[in-house]
Chains A and B, each alone.
Chain A
């Protein structure tokens, strides 16, 4: 494909940038309406208990208290889109029954005229609990038969997949590596706390909800179901959002339902905003996993078998627990062509804060284990890890056995080669650098992540484009932008196809009354799935413009092209009309037409293409303190086509920093169900002074099913960072860490043990 694009591949500034740098951008936390009430939750102080009595009479007597809703009143709601089409939905309630299942589980909500009144009212409520035995350890959850966290038991889900014959595969192996890995309960820590919403129920029966959600149309469906409203009576608007990373894919549906319920009671707007502490302690986090892995390989470096057993801990509730464990399976199996594979995953409930979607969606956990195993094998057989990966990765033209899809683009080899050259891999890998105190090392890890969820979910996307009479255009899409820049990227795609300048395309905010159905922003899907919808809608509009132009240019539409804002006869460029003039004619001047060109498209993406990446991490390990310093990440990702290269680099660097956090500093600490570090002092995300140099490298493999060849990037950029760092630590020190996050204590202990 020759790159003569006018808008695609250019680093346009984000269309909402000026609003963000001037403070004009309104986030859900900034919204205030007349007569607005403030709502808040009373949360359970117990990890597992039965609510026997809630006494709200004292609170209700306060003058400013307008409505109270307990778990007994609020309608139940299905938590996961997937279940809307299955019979299992009743098990997936979020606002529960009379059982509390983690410390922080909501028991009731109050709406009051001021924040002070709300605080006072909440303090006057008394709740009686009958304590139940709590289960904290996922292994206990597995075996415990007397205590059931949910009616169906403590096992939420099981999945198995096997192909080939692992037994034979291990027999054919010269070496077998077996280890157990543990990963931490990472938090999204988006700067705007998760969980802010304003609901306004009007007397005409229409509900409007402003919510910082990633999934506006899911929210619309849940709300309609919970409140018994038809979909046209539920309007969900997503204002600016202060980061999401998967955190706004789950828990907030419960919040939206509560606010809406309170608003219906009072016919006043009701706002609820979680505090940072609530965000840390009561919203979803990454599933901690125990991963047992046995991998076999020949001396020549052919991986012959992999056997994986995962125990995933979803906490008190599950929203994405099926998707997350399935992603461990599909990314693990998809990356390498290992002929004999056995995967078994079990998800259990425990009495801890619930888990959900977080950037990478199971993949970072799986990748840490599998990429550690591959690295160990490389060391054992004395092979360069890069060579081992190149020997075994699943190539273009091969079948992905989980997704059942042909791999149409895979730029992994190029990622590896470019990254290796740029960081000086070969030389650094051979050299044992540093001194006795500070040891230096370099490590490598690769990854595959799926774009979108077309093989797993009902995953629709849609777009509408209206061409105005002055030749500008308005694009309507519900592809919620959480900061990645979807709206900008989608405008670029529309601009490219319509031949209308980027600056002349406006993109609507996400509003279910206006923007057509979209599955939301998850699974790195918007450049690809959103991009396809916008591409198709733009092609529809384009064809309509060409059809109209026939009349004025007196040539068939198939003889016309669009270039620089003009519709031109291919063989006779002098015969042309500007889009603006054409729109003037057909909308206003030509009374025989009087029509606006409107393009639209809706549907599911044709595939779920994998995008790939290689991270080279360079570290220094202080053998006396155990401290690890990441010196540099060289991160090369195959994104198909970078529609906006600056934004792709932004995702690679931002994901890289989040990945370093996952490797070294992040994770909720729990004791008896209490979260010990629900703040930014004790839960350490990286700060500007901590960051190493990060070199983002873009590889473009041109995905044939993607818009202009594009596929995803958002999640993948953090997936293989922790494994690359762990591999680098091993290169530096010879010790293998199997638990995230990697602390100085662990390193010191491992060094001691290895002596």
Chain B
């Protein structure tokens, strides 16, 4: 199988990687780099569990080839907290009881993360639309939506 060397900045650290042309980004992150926080729920771009941020945008790691991420800045759920300090999104998901089984949570948080970056003051409909790509079978969505709104508010307050 043909292999290619790529490099990728994942959560602030550069990685030199050897991948095949078929390797999916999700497998490179999980199996090669060992970052298993990014989850696979369908492998077909339908559930959003594998959502990560690539150059600041929310993308589905199950639909991307690793070679497409050559040179990219990747943020995964593991890259959000600062030491033991949680990111406001992570805190809000806890305080709003937006987490049950937690399997959708990394994808939800990363979708919210990219949204807030683009739109620091989203309204409820915007958040609902943004999270519409992220399936959750446990919570019924109300709490995750609230958590993203709360985190956005928290982050605006911090910037001021």
Interface positions of A (Cβ within 8 A of B): 11, 13-14, 16-27, 29-30, 32, 116, 188-193, 240-245, 275-276, 482-485, 646-647, 649-650, 653-658, 679-681, 685-689, 691, 694
Residues of B within 8 A of A17 (CB): 93-94, 99, 102
A192 touching B140, Cβ below 8 Å: no
Task: Say what secondary structure dominates the interface of chain B.
Answer: loop
B31 touching A32, Cβ below 8 Å: yes
B47 touching A23, Cβ below 8 Å: no
CA separation between A654 and B104, bound complex, in Å? 14
Interface string of B117-156 (1 = CB under 8 A from A): 0000000000111011111111111111100000000000
CA separation between A19 and B138, bound complex, in Å? 17
Residues of A within 8 A of B133 (CB): 687
CA separation between A275 and B142, bound complex, in Å? 28
Looking at the complex, which one of B42, B78, B101, B134 makes contact with A241 (CB distance below 8 Å)? B101
Nearest CB in chain B to that of A661: its residue: B137
CA separation between A14 and B47, bound complex, in Å? 24
Distance between A365 CB and nearest chain B CB, rounded to angstroms: 20
What are 10 A-B contacts with C-beta separation under 8 Å?
A11-B97, A21-B86, A22-B37, A29-B39, A29-B40, A191-B41, A240-B101, A241-B101, A242-B39, A681-B44
Residues of B within 8 A of A32 (CB): 31
B106 touching A191, Cβ below 8 Å: no
Assuming the contacts A30-B30, A653-B142, A688-B145, asked whether A243 and B134 have C-beta atoms less than 8 A apart, the reply is no
A681 touching B46, Cβ below 8 Å: yes
A482 touching B135, Cβ below 8 Å: no
CA separation between A243 and B49, bound complex, in Å? 13
CA separation between A13 and B109, bound complex, in Å? 18
Assuming the contacts A32-B31, A654-B100, asked whether A20 and B46 have C-beta atoms less than 8 A apart, the reply is no
CA separation between A484 and B95, bound complex, in Å? 16
A21 touching B97, Cβ below 8 Å: no
Nearest CB in chain B to that of A693: its residue: B142
CA separation between A30 and B105, bound complex, in Å? 15
Residues of A within 8 A of B66 (CB): none
In chain B, positions 1-40 with a C-beta closer than 8 Å to chain A are 1, 30-31, 35-40
Is B55 among interface residues, defined by CB-CB distance under 8 A?
no
9 closest residue pairs by CB, A with B = A23-B37, A483-B101, A242-B103, A20-B102, A23-B77, A657-B140, A680-B46, A30-B36, A653-B140
Interface size grouping (class) on chain B: 35 or more
Looking at the complex, which one of A13, A276, A650, A685 makes contact with B143 (CB distance below 8 Å)? A650
CA separation between A681 and B48, bound complex, in Å? 12
Residues of B within 8 A of A647 (CB): 97
B135 touching A680, Cβ below 8 Å: yes
CA separation between A30 and B78, bound complex, in Å? 14
In chain B, positions 40-58 with a C-beta closer than 8 Å to chain A are 40-44, 46-47, 49
B100 touching A22, Cβ below 8 Å: no
Assuming the contacts A20-B99, A192-B41, asked whether A689 and B94 have C-beta atoms less than 8 A apart, the reply is no
A22 touching B137, Cβ below 8 Å: no
CA separation between A26 and B38, bound complex, in Å? 11
A275 touching B43, Cβ below 8 Å: yes
Assuming the contacts A23-B38, A654-B100, asked whether A245 and B132 have C-beta atoms less than 8 A apart, the reply is no
CA separation between A243 and B138, bound complex, in Å? 7
Assuming the contacts A189-B137, A482-B101, A688-B131, asked whether A694 and B142 have C-beta atoms less than 8 A apart, the reply is yes
In chain B, positions 61-113 with a C-beta closer than 8 Å to chain A are 76-78, 80-81, 86, 90, 93-95, 97, 99-106, 109
Residues of A within 8 A of B40 (CB): 29
B42 touching A680, Cβ below 8 Å: yes
B76 touching A23, Cβ below 8 Å: yes
Residues of B within 8 A of A482 (CB): 101
Looking at the complex, which one of B46, B76, B100, B128 makes contact with A243 (CB distance below 8 Å)? B100
Nearest CB in chain A to that of B81: its residue: A22
Residues of A within 8 A of B142 (CB): 653, 691, 694
Distance between A688 CB and nearest chain B CB, rounded to angstroms: 4
CA separation between A495 and B45, bound complex, in Å? 43
Looking at the complex, which one of B43, B76, B138 makes contact with A483 (CB distance below 8 Å)? B138
Distance between B123 CB and nearest chain A CB, rounded to angstroms: 13
CA separation between A32 and B35, bound complex, in Å? 12
CA separation between A242 and B41, bound complex, in Å? 9
Residues of B within 8 A of A484 (CB): 100
A27 touching B39, Cβ below 8 Å: yes
Distance between B60 CB and nearest chain A CB, rounded to angstroms: 12
Assuming the contacts A656-B140, A657-B141, A689-B132, asked whether A24 and B37 have C-beta atoms less than 8 A apart, the reply is yes
Residues of A within 8 A of B143 (CB): 650, 653
The residue in B46, B80, B128, B138 that gathers the most chain A C-beta atoms within 10 A of its C-beta is B138
Residues of A within 8 A of B95 (CB): 13
Nearest CB in chain A to that of B109: its residue: A21
Distance between B63 CB and nearest chain A CB, rounded to angstroms: 13
Distance between B38 CB and nearest chain A CB, rounded to angstroms: 7
Residues of A within 8 A of B137 (CB): 188-191, 243, 245, 654, 658, 685
CA separation between A646 and B40, bound complex, in Å? 28
Residues of A within 8 A of B49 (CB): 191
Residues of A within 8 A of B135 (CB): 189, 191, 680, 685, 687
CA separation between A23 and B50, bound complex, in Å? 12
Assuming the contacts A679-B42, A688-B128, asked whether A243 and B101 have C-beta atoms less than 8 A apart, the reply is yes
A646 touching B97, Cβ below 8 Å: yes
Distance between B139 CB and nearest chain A CB, rounded to angstroms: 5
Residues of B within 8 A of A26 (CB): 36
CA separation between A679 and B47, bound complex, in Å? 10
CA separation between A21 and B47, bound complex, in Å? 18
A689 touching B128, Cβ below 8 Å: yes
Distance between A681 CB and nearest chain B CB, rounded to angstroms: 6
Distance between A416 CB and nearest chain B CB, rounded to angstroms: 22
Distance between B145 CB and nearest chain A CB, rounded to angstroms: 6
Looking at the complex, which one of A188, A240, A649, A688 makes contact with B102 (CB distance below 8 Å)? A240
CA separation between A654 and B137, bound complex, in Å? 7
A679 touching B44, Cβ below 8 Å: yes
CA separation between A650 and B137, bound complex, in Å? 11
Assuming the contacts A22-B77, A242-B103, asked whether A191 and B140 have C-beta atoms less than 8 A apart, the reply is no
